[in-house]
Amino acid sequence: MTEATRPTSHPAVKIGRVGVLLVNLGTPQAATPEAVRTYLAEFLWDRRVVEIPRAVWWLILHGIILRTRPRKSAHAYAQVWTPDGSPLAAFTKAQSGALQARLGDVAIVDWGMRYGQPAVGDVLARMQAAGCDRILIAPLYPQYCGATTASVMDAVSAALGNMRWQPAIRTLPPYYDDAGHIAALRADTARQLMALPFVPEVLLLSFHGMPDRTLHLGDPYHCHCRKTARLLTEALAGEYPALKIEVAFQSRFGRAKWLEPSTETVLAEQAAKGVTRLAVAAPGFSSDCVETLEELAIRGREVFEAAGGKDYAVLECLNAGDTGMAMIEALVRRELGGWI
């Protein structure tokens, strides 16, 4: 049916555009206990995030966690909140804008959050209304994990289930060992190390933790983190042959055994061994967030200094800088092959 033959009563429909949807974990809408409680209730009820039987977990979540944790978490968010909202939302929005500028008219770029706002389903609907009938879903998690990447696709699937006319969907694969990703990490890490007012003895690569059982159930996350760390270590060896690089996992939650060693343990142990100059990088995070800006930069410093450490720095994530955005653009263009 052409424009000339379309009945005047036919609803206007936009089609023919390609979309790219950048997705990150999520954030509360404000640094208040009430907003954090709303966010945590959605986040921690996800079966991908907590795999405890629902009846038992409901009692724990609503009877204990949502009564105690929101105030503590709100304090952490308040220390890093920006005029543009949470750092994660601000950086993800900036990444979306930077990628749109790089892609120009070949695609419509938007961004969403798995938990909180803007919700993945709402953004998909907005993109479809703008004419996107082919959409690349790009979870900004370099390493695959069921609790992150798979959960994003759960949200996408739920949204598609409510669409009569669904767009074609592609998914950006995890890029933990992609040569472009490792090169971007190497270049940005080296740049920041050079700019420090001290020479680190140790570089700690801190990844977000997961329960240890997920590894034994077949989740590749631990292996992906370890490979990213190994490749980055090898890439930095030529410029920093004397730099000792350690790997750890942060953000432990609950009483179950988590991936080890923990970041806090490594920080304390390194200082106790006599290391006085240490830098931390977080190559599992595409954007700075409360985990890097508060947990690592503030609480991590306190742990290191309390154990005898002196000089301490947390390197920025790739965020919306040119190095990181060039890498994301290359990944996205590769996955859009045949569509653009």
**Tens digit of each residue's pLDDT, the chain (340 residues):** 455 566 777 777 788 999 999 999 999 999 999 999 999 999 999 999 999 999 999 999 999 999 999 999 999 999 999 999 999 999 999 999 999 999 999 999 999 999 999 999 999 999 999 999 999 999 999 999 999 999 999 999 999 999 999 999 999 999 999 999 999 999 999 999 999 999 999 999 999 999 999 999 999 999 999 999 999 999 999 999 999 999 999 999 888 899 999 999 999 999 999 999 999 999 999 999 999 999 999 999 999 999 999 999 999 999 999 999 999 999 999 999 999 9
Q: Is residue 235 domain-shared with residue 296, that is, in the same domain?
A: yes
- Closest listed residue to residue 285, CA positions, set 311, 260, 314, 264: 314
Query: What integer pLDDT is reported at residue 7 of this predicted model?
Result: 75
At residue 193, the pLDDT reads: 98
Task: Determine, yes or no, domain membership for 299.
Answer: yes
**pLDDT at res. 284:** 98
| Residue with the two structure tokens 């993109």 | 127
Whether 107 is in a domain gets the answer yes
Number of structural domains in the chain: 2
Q: Is 340 within the bounds of a domain?
A: no
Residue 333 in contact with residue 340, Cβ under 8 Å? Answer: yes
CATH of the domain at 232: 3.40.50.1400
Task: Identify whether residues 151 and 188 lie together within a single domain.
Answer: no
User: Is 327 in the same domain as 290?
Assistant: no
CB-based contact 172:332 (threshold 8 Å): yes
The two three-digit tokens of residue 236, written as one number: 């930095």
CA 90: distance to chain centroid?
13
| Residue 291 confidence (pLDDT) | 98
Claim to verify: residue 230 and residue 257 sit in the same structural domain:
yes
Do 23 and 163 fall into the same domain? yes
Residues 233 and 287 in one domain: yes
Question: What is the pLDDT at residue 136?
Answer: 98
pLDDT of residue 13: 75
**151 and 267 housed in the same domain:** no
Q: What is the pLDDT of residue 274?
A: 98
pLDDT of residue 254: 83
For residue 38, being part of any structural domain is answered with yes
pLDDT, tens only, 273-312: 999 999 999 999 999 999 999 999 999 999 999 999 999 9
Residue 6 lies in a domain: no
Domain presence at residue 105: yes
For residues 225 and 261, is the Cβ–Cβ distance under 8 A? no
Same domain, 134 and 197: no
Burial 51-78 (b: 16+ CB within 10 A, else e): eeeeeebeeebeeebbeebbeebbebbe
Rounded to an integer, what distance in angstroms lies between the CA atom of residue 209 and that of residue 88?
Answer: 18
On whether both 34 and 95 belong to a single domain, the answer is yes
- For 197, 240, 243, 258, the CA distances from 237, given in Å and listed in that order, are 21, 5, 8, 29
Same domain as 185, residue 147:
no
Give the model's pLDDT for residue 2. Answer: 53
126 domain residue, yes or no: yes
Same domain, 25 and 148: yes
The answer to the question of residue 10 being in a domain is no
For residue 278, give its domain range.
179-314
Residues 29 and 170 in one domain: yes
